[in-house]
Amino acid sequence: MEGKRGSECLLKPVSNIDFNPVIIDTGIGNTLVSFVGKLPVSPLILAWIITVLIRILTGQGAVAAITAAGIVAPMIAAFNVNPVLMVLTCAVGSNTMTLMYDGGFLLFQQSFGISIKDTFKTWGALEFVNSFVGLIVILGLDLVM
């Protein structure tokens, strides 16, 4: 029975779809660039919000990061954004929340033997704080770089 727990945690994230080629082919990134140019908001904040929304909609961090990267990539050249900071922004945005079938959630919950409710309280809070503080650090780095 112990082996089953580990295999469930490893198989869940493998069943994702890579939306990045579809996103690039549609040209949504270029459309976003023209829209963002009119907004008084940092492209890094917008990239984080886009990644968070994709994370919520798909439920998977890797899918959110890869898909958001395809969407926000044109903003790097258009707004002279440091590409490293954009990558980090997509990474921290993809770790904003957790779902019951997320690999990290399952590993945490099963390793500590705690309830789903308590896992949401602890692992979920950790993910949100990690993401938000990560964004603050990235914005700070953007000011000094």
Provide the whole-model pTM.
0.78
Q: How far apart are CA 109 and CA 117, in angstroms?
A: 10
DSSP characters over the chain: -HHHHHHHHHHTGGG----HHHHHHHTHHHHHHHHHTTSSS-HHHHHHHHHHHHHHHH--HHHHHHHHHHHHHHHHHHTT--HHHHHHHHHHHTTS---TT-HHHHHHHHHHT--HHHHIIIIIHHHHHHHHHHHHHHHHHHHH-
**Could you list the mean pLDDT of each consecutive 10-residue stretch along the chain, which spans 145 residues?**
46 50 73 79 93 87 88 90 96 90 85 93 92 97 94
What per-residue confidence (pLDDT) applies to 60?
83
Q: How far apart are CA 71 and CA 63, in angstroms?
A: 12
What per-residue confidence (pLDDT) applies to 86?
96
What per-residue confidence (pLDDT) applies to 18?
58
